[in-house]
Structure 1
């Protein structure tokens, strides 16, 4: 049963300040420094799996504590879900609805479908992982029953303001913290290197490492940290209702400093805002982040968002190690250093840094409790022979950190009173009986109590007296919201009797409510569990059909190959003339062509794409591959709607049968399964009948990162190389940057195994090499023989997707 809570903002127009709470300590830091709401994760299904996260027991007490103060708590379920995890997801949703969380933050369509169908008490927020970047995407969320969209961080203020005018949905945007180089939800870099998927909350952050381009070392894929504190009026004017701070992996100290700074600016009167921003920026210097940038808010081509010469590490740079002993380091500190400060030493290689707390330090041969900036210091290290001369030293937190142990946090939480449930009460006194009728949610209770009544000499029984008695819930979590009384006779009832009636009546009502809520939880859970698809008997596909994805229309004659059933061609909105010319060549092959929609369509090009779609439909084409929620509206008003053949591309995330069923609900007839997936999960999904045709990409170049960030001076003719000699191609086209491995993804060599699972269609993507190039011909020949092509990777297929 959900419970709406009132924001501490009251009825004013100030936006919600939304803070991370990656630990109980950070939760209290947010509460004490002015957050209107926090977002936190559970041990499962959180995009920050490495955060401490919270238990269900913690969450219940946190909700009591927050709601008592008119604050809100949103729970992140913003990862992709494997098939075997669906039963756990269902139990989680049932428990969250029962707990009365204020909203859940969603990436996977499975969570949306299960919540919409079986857990109506849950409010849904669309995670930034859903890559919502245009008005059509937001309007689609509105139709799907979401209450809020967390917009992509790549939007400008101008784009946000234009989007705001086209929807009534709540809009949330990040204003502070770490930025991803890629559009959120569209990065496969970490997973490609070792199966640790950013879309499952386990990003290993390879973008933060150092790379080499033409012998020039640099942090090419490491953005600086977002700081929009001086743009808050512009964000509010653009229509952002929730200002979100990133940082569930960050310390409570970070949360306290950043929340406090933003609270100060939000609450400042217009005349004092300039001074408030100045003071807040001084406070933010203590939050130990990277260099600040406004990101894309001020324009689509920021020059300060990613600077290759700037290290990707967080914290305040103190200096480089000048001497490294077996268990100590010596360096000249740029900043004051105290016992209790926490340091991280970052090696010159692209390996992760190592953190430790300063227990003792010395200046020369003298022990000291602190050292001023500019001092050469020696600090003992708890790690033997770990560090080297030249390694960088960063301060990541100070001795003045917000400190509260987990045990102290839990003691404080358990002191919070249970959230009161509102009661509407009607009272009548008739024939010596006090007749009560109460309603709370779906529960109604009527009871009559014999009472002793005496003719009143003064102060007869009245509404105010009854309100005073029944306002208190006693030992029950009940709160009088409304009181209705019939005409009351001029009598007095002993206060002791009224209090006893209240105790008995409220006790029974609270019991009924508890049983009703538990029954509702059980009912919703059982319905959702029954809706999960059972395994079916395997029906091997004798000859899965072949689709080939092309890079342009010039390879259309590949359809003359009898082995090729269908081709996929990119739909480039601004090249309508080329599309029209290509259409003329196709004659009677229209049914064999699927047009692939660009998954990033900012509002400035969305109408062009819509016009192109309508022109193609008018020319007799009906098959389109959708790659973002904003694509569904492209087909509004198409006369031949019933003849459309819509396919979900892999960027719409189909990792489980509930997601596949969600796309089916939205009119999709075929889904391309997720290339990041592993053998076990693919088989588990395909063992269940969704009623939707499935396709698997068995060869292609995986764009590990897709970004709006331009990397100055880096071109596609030379690779960017890691310290491990892994090579990556950087391409810029149409205002977007993609980073791909020189090594192709391929499941060729496993085709017989995939056919045995019942796969109905294979997709070979040759857009990057061309179907008739030597490499393209080699790949198609390998496909025909089910022989692994040289220099390819099976991605996560043969290892677990974590």
Structure 2
């Protein structure tokens, strides 16, 4: 850990997916690492660690004074709370330094178990404003991981309004969607990003459909696949903006990647703290690209530039760009180099079709004008001779880009940093020695990094020295032989009365005992307050005499007017531009009905004016979609009811209770729950204060990246894009021909909606039996007639006049609740209503 003036700690945090990566992180200067345990983390495809390994992992880390954080950054379903409790307790007992958490119900559970065990708020919480940080204040979070979309100015604004240390991603893969707000993997593959199973749908090719017509895009097909984040050059600005923890992404990456990236950011941070100017060299940046790169970007850290966020021509790591093919020879290609290359390097020829098999392999030889060249070539026209069995040169064309995909020499150099543990860092200790003849030699050993001290006495008494008495220099020599330990002796101070001596073997024993005791102190788990907690909960008595209430969410004025002509009494407005809300309020009031207005899904610094505008529009309630908006309205002590939406990611009864206790009147469950998980939660939650979305186009991606600006404008952001979103309608067409609408909100953020609407009508009877009284239909692009048809069908289903099956079949909708289909009728569940 490094400290600035004023004692603010600056931490470098590295990803580790296995033991090799862990050693690479420690050896190359990480202050802390984060890793997953078993299934409860957002990278289930990583090897991860087991609960049984936790004590050994933490002892190893603490041996080198490195902190270990366990990622628990997923939603926890009702039936998993007991397993979650066991893992939390195992982490406390093993000495884990913090849990990185997404689920607010899990935050509640951890605080019930221990009021002081450190919790870090995951980026999956979508914390992007000072108000969102303040919402979490009652739970004493130790660190907040901000959204990747916050820029330097916003980070500084947040830092100025909180004492909680802020963590920011500085390197690695970027999610195009806001973390915690991506539902695409679940929708298309049944794999939840909020459960660590991201299927990377953003890395797939899409066609751009503009106003119903396919737009010719040339070789640009990866419309949602961002470049990789690389903020090495921004380290000084990030520190000055108030960032305390620099987080590297990559728990699925190699140990060489970890070693490479950690060492580069270690140097940048240390140079800044030492007061020296630091500018990474071209070689530094090339080496980072070599380990893994889809091309580098600052992301949103330096501000929004949609043109620089993605390349669009490939979705995978390429490495270092060498140049383009100038000529194809019989056994080689001619290239004008833009980066160094040597024999043995791996290359690939990029013909602009990354989805197909590409030609590539290792370089067998390098020639200049037909003459063999030894060593590394830095620049100029060079003939690259690939291995004969690696590349079919008849398939290589002039103009193909050449990338260096691997560098064996770099990998060997990186591996050397962590293969031999004796190369790892040593920690200074100081010793004070006391004594006089006839008494034991007393030594006080101090670990100068941790502050731990141990006192070791000689078993033999000090004798009068005839020759060679004990001195500070002699003890320095004897006690300084600390090879095989993590310590090095800084200095010894001797405080003796007279000339005394003790056998060398006794000094050796004292050295061994002291070093072992200091190491044991480092590795001893920190003690926290801990309470016995039961996750067992009584089932709720879900009997309600009230008739179910049907609610309708509209996204156009046409839909508002159509809904007003039905028997629906409560309407939501969710418009692209909240400035249009007063018109909706006026129309609904004129029809004698009630209206709630939806907040944007993201709340950034400086956007409280949007929240104020919603209040001024005069709604009967507000649909709250972010922690920042929730805190802002709760602090305002409005008389208006606050209804929590799906984006708050409520997946268990503890999260339900937490939001209700904080001031929300009703909450909407997360779309991550399938029907069985939903029923598990409804059995024990306050269902009379829950609202079910039973018909909708699922909002899949929610992103700061604007497709309209990127592909329909010459501009770079909202200030110069010309607002094509006001005159065009865009959809993204996937590989099977489905067109997914892209809509813009007042913050210029895009939401990509699923092409086909889904219906939960099949499960209405089960929800009613569990006491759910509020049911929401959400419209997207439907016209007035369709709005009335859908409302009529669901009204009849709620009244028992038609089956749920007939509803979704009549609408040709997907029979699905949220993102994954459940096995309701086949479930082996204690609730007998599920067996009907």
CA contact (8 A) 1:78 1:105 kept: yes
Structure 2 spans left out of the alignment, 5+ residues: 209-213, 326-330, 368-372, 428-458, 466-485, 487-499, 713-723, 825-836
Task: Report what 1:483 is aligned to.
Answer: none
- 1:470-509 to structure 2, matched below 5 A, reads none
Task: Report what 2:782 is aligned to.
Answer: 769
CA 1:48/1:747 → structure 2, altered by over 3 Å: closer, same or farther?
same
CA contact (8 A) 1:660 1:692 kept: no
1:727 corresponds, among 739, 743, 752, to: 739
Q: Does 1:295 align with 2:299?
A: yes
- 1:280-429 to structure 2, matched below 5 A, reads 280-308=284-312, 310-316=313-319, 374-375=383-384, 377-378=386-387, 396-400=405-409, 402=411
C-alpha deviation, 1:131, in angstroms: 1.2
Q: Does 1:751 align with 2:764?
A: yes
Task: Report what 1:602 is aligned to.
Answer: 604
Task: Report what 1:176 is aligned to.
Answer: 171
Structure 1 spans left out of the alignment, 5+ residues: 1-5, 322-328, 420-450, 458-476, 478-491
C-alpha deviation, 1:290, in angstroms: 1.1
C-alpha deviation, 1:512, in angstroms: 14
CA-based RMSD of the aligned residues comes to: 5.9
Tell me, what secondary structure is at the counterpart of 1:79? coil
CA 1:234/1:244 → structure 2, altered by over 3 Å: closer, same or farther?
same
2:553 corresponds, among 549, 565, 573, to: 549
Larger displacement relative to structure 2 (9-18 or 696-705): 9-18
CA 1:686/1:415 → structure 2, altered by over 3 Å: closer, same or farther?
farther
Tell me, what secondary structure is at the counterpart of 1:70? coil
C-alpha deviation, 1:51, in angstroms: 1.3
- 1:412-561 to structure 2, matched below 5 A, reads 524=530, 527=532, 530-534=533-537, 536=539, 539=542, 543-551=547-555, 555=560, 558=563, 561=566
CA contact (8 A) 1:14 1:266 kept: no
Task: Report what 1:704 is aligned to.
Answer: 700
Q: Does 1:258 align with 2:279?
A: no
CA–CA distance in 1 between the matches of 2:512 and 2:64? 26
Task: Report what 2:717 is aligned to.
Answer: none
C-alpha deviation, 1:765, in angstroms: 0.8
Task: Report what 2:470 is aligned to.
Answer: none
CA–CA distance in 2 between the matches of 1:312 and 1:792? 32
1:229 corresponds, among 222, 227, 232, to: 232
Task: Report what 1:442 is aligned to.
Answer: none
Deviations 1:462-510 (A, max 9, x none): xxxxxxxxxxxxxxx9xxxxxxxxxxxxxx9x99999999999x999x9
Q: Does 1:798 align with 2:810?
A: no
Paired residues, what number?
Answer: 758
Task: Report what 1:664 is aligned to.
Answer: 660
CA contact (8 A) 2:35 2:69 kept: yes
C-alpha deviation, 1:30, in angstroms: 1.9
CA contact (8 A) 1:108 1:659 kept: yes
CA–CA distance in 1 between the matches of 2:585 and 2:770? 39
CA contact (8 A) 1:573 1:605 kept: no
Q: Does 1:742 align with 2:755?
A: yes
Tell me, what secondary structure is at the counterpart of 2:551? strand
Task: Report what 1:85 is aligned to.
Answer: 80
CA contact (8 A) 2:27 2:418 kept: no
Task: Report what 2:113 is aligned to.
Answer: 118
CA–CA distance in 1 between the matches of 2:248 and 2:60? 21
C-alpha deviation, 1:800, in angstroms: 7.6
CA–CA distance in 1 between the matches of 2:541 and 2:634? 38
CA 1:452/1:332 → structure 2, altered by over 3 Å: closer, same or farther?
closer
Deviations 1:599-633 (A, max 9, x none): 213222213413643x46xx683x32221110122
CA contact (8 A) 1:262 1:280 kept: no
CA–CA distance in 2 between the matches of 1:242 and 1:513? 22
Tell me, what secondary structure is at the counterpart of 1:704? strand
Tell me, what secondary structure is at the counterpart of 1:660? helix
CA–CA distance in 2 between the matches of 1:534 and 1:782? 33
C-alpha deviation, 1:106, in angstroms: 1.2
C-alpha deviation, 1:148, in angstroms: 1.6
C-alpha deviation, 1:414, in angstroms: 13
Larger displacement relative to structure 2 (32-41 or 534-543): 534-543
CA contact (8 A) 1:72 1:102 kept: yes
C-alpha deviation, 1:584, in angstroms: 5.8
C-alpha deviation, 1:79, in angstroms: 1.0
CA–CA distance in 2 between the matches of 1:723 and 1:117? 47
CA–CA distance in 1 between the matches of 2:298 and 2:414? 34
Tell me, what secondary structure is at the counterpart of 2:25? helix
CA–CA distance in 1 between the matches of 2:61 and 2:521? 25
Deviations 1:55-107 (A, max 9, x none): 34544333333333332222211111122221111111111111222222111
Q: Does 1:205 align with 2:204?
A: no
Q: Does 1:191 align with 2:186?
A: yes
Instruction: Provide the TM-score with structure 2 as the length reference.
Output: 0.73
CA 1:683/1:241 → structure 2, altered by over 3 Å: closer, same or farther?
same
Q: Does 1:64 align with 2:59?
A: yes
C-alpha deviation, 1:534, in angstroms: 3.1
CA contact (8 A) 1:319 1:332 kept: no
Tell me, what secondary structure is at the counterpart of 1:84? helix
Task: Report what 1:28 is aligned to.
Answer: 23
1:585 corresponds, among 587, 590, 597, to: 590
Q: Does 1:652 align with 2:648?
A: yes
Q: Does 1:243 align with 2:246?
A: yes
Task: Report what 1:464 is aligned to.
Answer: none
Task: Report what 1:627 is aligned to.
Answer: 625
- 1:9-158 to structure 2, matched below 5 A, reads 15-158=10-153
CA contact (8 A) 1:319 1:331 kept: no
CA 1:188/1:452 → structure 2, altered by over 3 Å: closer, same or farther?
closer
CA 1:284/1:404 → structure 2, altered by over 3 Å: closer, same or farther?
closer
CA 1:499/1:22 → structure 2, altered by over 3 Å: closer, same or farther?
closer
CA–CA distance in 2 between the matches of 1:659 and 1:97? 22
Tell me, what secondary structure is at the counterpart of 2:229? strand
C-alpha deviation, 1:707, in angstroms: 1.1
Deviations 1:668-699 (A, max 9, x none): 33221122321221111112144762221111
Instruction: Provide the TM-score with structure 1 as the length reference.
Output: 0.75
CA contact (8 A) 1:610 1:635 kept: no
Tell me, what secondary structure is at the counterpart of 2:603? coil
CA 1:284/1:502 → structure 2, altered by over 3 Å: closer, same or farther?
closer
CA–CA distance in 1 between the matches of 2:659 and 2:200? 31
CA 1:358/1:620 → structure 2, altered by over 3 Å: closer, same or farther?
closer
